[in-house]
Amino acid sequence: MEKFLDRFLGYVKKNTRSDDTKAGVVIPSTPSQMEFLKDLSEELKEIGLVDVKINEKNAFLTATLPANVENAPVIGFIAHVDTADFNAENISPQIHENYDGKDIVLGDSGFVLSPQEFPNLKNYIGQTLITTDGTTLLGADDKAGVCEIVSAMEYLINNPQIKHGKIRVAFGCDEEVGVGADHFDVKDFGCDFAYTMDGSAVGELQFECFNAAEAKIDILGKSVHPGDAKNKMINALTISREIQNAMPSICVPEKTENREGFIHLIEAHGNVENASLTYIIRDHDKTLFENKKYIVKKVCEDINERYDIERVKLSMHDEYRNMADIIKKDTRSVDIATKAMEVLGIEVNKAPIRGGTDGSKISFMGLPTPNIFAGGENFHGRFEFVSVESIKKAIDVIVEIAKIAAEK
């Protein structure tokens, strides 16, 4: 436990924040991610993995644990090294042993991690928690996943009596800015199925996610001096308000849960002459997803019919799809992970993800890739935390999956 804890703490102290302004333009979007991968590649060699290489075209580090038994499926484990859009400079993890269920003061920042605001803390009484000092995020998303994969591989190497097939590992960049898996090389990875270690609380096994699209709306107004504007001015901001008011008010993140989708306004800019709106569209059901996209399109068309020229221009594209459509065709990955957790006495939570993972894109590239818990909670901010016991359980799950797969 001490070894993987030191490994995790070492990982999170390295700033690997990605940059959405450079996403897809530079791979990876920040130099620090490649620096981390180079350090990690040396560590993988040191623990005994082979075929260690960094593909500089897609910024994925891959490696192999050779099989010690024949006729087992080839399994992959994947994690991302970048962290989200929150301060990641000078991360100072705080360790709280035997958590007592009370408020946790986050360093000298003045912020408090409280079970009144975060009731999930009550699930960790008696455990060792790792938190931030209140000035940064922690980076358990997904440094916990990285640590778990590396630690599990080291354990299998040091315990050759445990039978397992060939295992491939991959560590990528820019997941947090949505482009990390865009160029993943499924053929080179060469697996029958894989897992992303990128979930949250213990027990999560996720193989259903949103279908996702983004809609950008550009609005052209007509600016006239307000003193002489009657029947002349066309205010782009007013049109923006009309568009937003036309969207279904119940269909927003703050009013939906479980498998309910939404149309979410995430950004708005403008003045009288020009304005822009950006929406993200989400639904687990493909038919409902397409219907939400149609609603956005129809709203824009109706607005345009009121004006002399096309004042509203819509640009919409799909971002990722529900990986359940692929995984349900080959359920081995889910079946083996379910059995592994049950053997370890972990209650399995198969609730759908209200979001997406690299596993979604990779699944549609032909490699079924569900998502397994990494243990952290309250991701992407100063209140992020993870328990040492959760990381240990995730390591155990990886090892157990390897063992069960070798029995098939």
Which residues are documented as binding site for Zn(2+)? 80, 141, 176, 198, 380
- CA nearest to 196, candidates 300, 333, 73: 333
What CA–CA distance (Å, rounded) separates 296 from 285?
17
* Three-class SS state of 199: strand
| Binding residue ranges | 80, 141, 176, 198, 380
Q: How many CA atoms lie within 13 A of 98 on its CB side?
A: 0
- CA nearest to 164, candidates 242, 259, 75: 75
Crossing angle for the helix pair 286-304 and 236-246, to the nearest 10 degrees? 150
What CA–CA distance (Å, rounded) separates 356 from 208?
9
What CA–CA distance (Å, rounded) separates 197 from 194?
10
Q: Which residues contact 301 (CB under 8 A, 6 or more apart)?
A: none
Structure tokens at 199: 């979930």
Q: CB-based burial of residue 345 (10 Å sphere; 0-12 exposed, 13-18 middle, 19+ buried)?
A: exposed
370-394 in b/e burial notation, b at 16+ Cβ within 10 A? bbbbbbbbbbeebbbbbbbbbbbbb
DSSP annotation of 123: G
Q: Please give the sequence-ordered ranges of beta strands (E in DSSP) within 45-166, or none if there are none.
A: 50-55, 60-65, 75-80, 94-96, 104-105, 112-113, 129-131
What CA–CA distance (Å, rounded) separates 138 from 134?
9
Is the separation of the CB atoms in 320 and 211 below 8 Å?
yes
Active site residue ranges:
82, 175
Q: ∠ CA(72), CA(78), CA(83), 5° rounding?
A: 170
C-alpha Rg value of the chain to the nearest Å: 23
